[in-house]
A and B are shown apart, each in its own frame.
Chain A
Amino acid sequence: MKPHSNPDPLWRDEFSIHTADERYVSRRQFTKFLVLTSLGMFAGNLWILVRSAFSKTPAYSGKSICRANDVPVGGVWLFRYPSEKDPCILIRPDEDTYVAYSQKCTHLSCAVFYSREKDRLECPCHEGYFSVRTGNVLQGPPPRPLPRVILERRGDEIVAVGIAT
């Protein structure tokens, strides 16, 4: 009887995984993980689609904000619209112009304020600046314009009638 008839040691029989095979397995598992992540991204897009399909366009009611003469030229008037949780800012940049926007910065919801000297809305948190006339982003990290409050002049009253995004 030969003392070493079997060239493979016992551990190789019990753990018969080649190094190259291990690389195969890890790549396959990583691929699987990536594909599952891809499925997650698709699910996210579907979730947005479902929310978009089932969410209703909000119906805004008219709300009197103030009298036209309450706001001086270059002054502001703070109010809440459409609900008490939505702070807004009304600005009178010149004699006949009234504009109003949501006061929440579109970056991280800090309150914006009106800078009369520079004639722009400013967010103090990350220096995001918005145009007073359009609400568009002039500078900084905000990704989109401020939601604009649609105003109507009813006699001496200024009335908010909706939100334009």
Chain B
Amino acid sequence: MDRQDQPTQKRGLTAIDGALALIALLLIVQMWLLTATLESYLAGHREVVLPAAIISGALFLVCAGLYLFVRRIDAEARARQKKEEIPML
């Protein structure tokens, strides 16, 4: 790999790491939400079940969006790298 494209690579990795950290954070919130909802449901408080499902779905959508972002960054980095490697062949 050329030394010139290392900063680009690092930027891509930083973006992916940031997205990964955010997904992990949202996942922890989702885990807490699931256990709290189950606890409330078993205690007979059914009014919390629907809002919890909606919020959990929204969190999943955000996670999926971040995953698509990671894929895009990854694909761009790979395409750039391929493009730079072609003249060397």
Taking Cβ atoms with an 8 Å cutoff, the residues of A that contact B are: 18, 20-21, 23-24, 27-28, 30-32, 34-35, 37-39, 41-42, 44-46, 48-49, 51-52, 143-144, 165
Contact = CB atoms under 8 A, between A and B. Distances in A.
Contacts of B46: 52
A49 B49 contact: yes
B72 to A, nearest CB: 11
A37 to B, nearest CB: 6
B27 to A, nearest CB: 5
Given A30-B20, A31-B19, A45-B52, A38 B41 contact: no
B9 A20 contact: yes
A57 to B, nearest CB: 9
Contacts of A39: 60
B11 to A, nearest CB: 12
Interface residues of B, number: 42
A34 B27 contact: yes
A34 B62 CA distance: 12
13 contacts: A27-B16, A27-B17, A27-B20, A28-B74, A32-B67, A35-B63, A38-B26, A38-B27, A41-B34, A42-B57, A45-B37, A48-B38, A143-B43
Contacts of B63: 34-35, 38
A42 B55 CA distance: 9
B56 A41 contact: yes
Interface in B21-71: 23-24, 26-27, 30-31, 33-34, 37-39, 41-44, 46, 49-50, 52-53, 56-57, 59-60, 63-64, 66-67, 70-71
Contacts of B37: 45, 48
Sorted nearest first, the 6 A-B pairs with minimum C-beta distance are A165-B44, A41-B30, A45-B56, A42-B60, A38-B63, A45-B53
B44 A49 contact: no
Contacts of A34: 20, 23-24, 27, 63
